């Protein structure tokens, strides 16, 4: 079994150093290894917090076009998917450092409480995506008036 020589930071962010990339080019990947056959996907870093009325999720999506971003929500879960395209005009040999993540990414967040899906909103400003998810108040009750025909 080949040892993964990437640093902790490279594994965490999905980045690769040019020297590791050149070493990996010398060793052909094993086709029977399922790890090598799956496309690598990055994972977004998120902040998730609550206030009295809502759960808020913040994440950086700088460099992602809105049409390349997909936010799916249910009453107890949020999934963020997207794709960040790199500039294809720069040759790999011209890089001194290559740490930014380019490609597909996703993140699924299980919410600590049910939310009102219809009242949720997503705002992107200067590369920061803010998702506001109003909480469902399970203790709220109301009286219905009975109408006759």
Q: What is the pLDDT along the chain (149 residues), one digit of tens a residue?
A: 556 666 666 666 666 666 555 555 555 555 555 555 555 788 889 999 999 999 999 999 988 888 889 999 998 999 999 988 877 788 888 888 888 888 889 999 999 999 999 999 999 888 999 999 999 877 776 777 788 77
Q: Is residue 145 part of a domain?
A: no
Structural domain includes residue 60: yes
Q: Is residue 127 part of a domain?
A: yes
CATH number of the domain within which 64 lies: 2.60.40.790
How many angstroms separate the CA atoms of 134 and 115, rounded? 6
Question: Is position 103 within any domain?
Answer: yes
Q: Give the pLDDT of residue 137.
A: 78
- Domain assignment present for residue 139? The answer is no
**Is 125 within a domain?**
yes
Q: Tell me, yes or no, whether 88 lies in a domain.
A: yes
pTM: 0.65
Q: Which domain, by its residues, includes 31?
A: 8-134
> Could you give the number of structural domains in the chain?
1
- Return the HEC string of 48-117: EEECCCEEEEEEECCCCCHHHEEEEECCCEEEEEEEECCCCCCCHHHCCCCCCCCEEEEEEEECCCCECH
Look up residue 38 and give its DSSP letter: S
Note whether residue 36 is domain-resident. yes
């Amino acid at each position: 079994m080949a040892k993964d020589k990437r640093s902790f930071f490279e594994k965490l962010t999905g980045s690769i150093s040019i020297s590791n990339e050149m070493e990996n080019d010398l060793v052909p990947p094993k086709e029977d290894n399922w790890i090598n056959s799956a496309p690598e996907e990055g994972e977004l870093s998120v902040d998730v917090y609550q206030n009295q009325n809502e759960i808020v999720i913040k994440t950086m999506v700088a460099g992602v076009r809105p049409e390349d971003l997909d936010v799916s929500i249910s009453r107890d879960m949020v999934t963020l998917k997207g794709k960040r395209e790199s500039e294809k005009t720069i040759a790999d040999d011209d890089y001194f450092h290559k740490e930014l993540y380019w490609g597909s990414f996703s993140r699924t967040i299980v919410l600590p409480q049910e939310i009102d899906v219809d009242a949720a909103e997503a705002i992107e400003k200067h590369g920061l995506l803010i998702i506001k998810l109003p909480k469902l108040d399970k203790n709220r009750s109301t009286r219905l008036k009975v109408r006759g025909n």
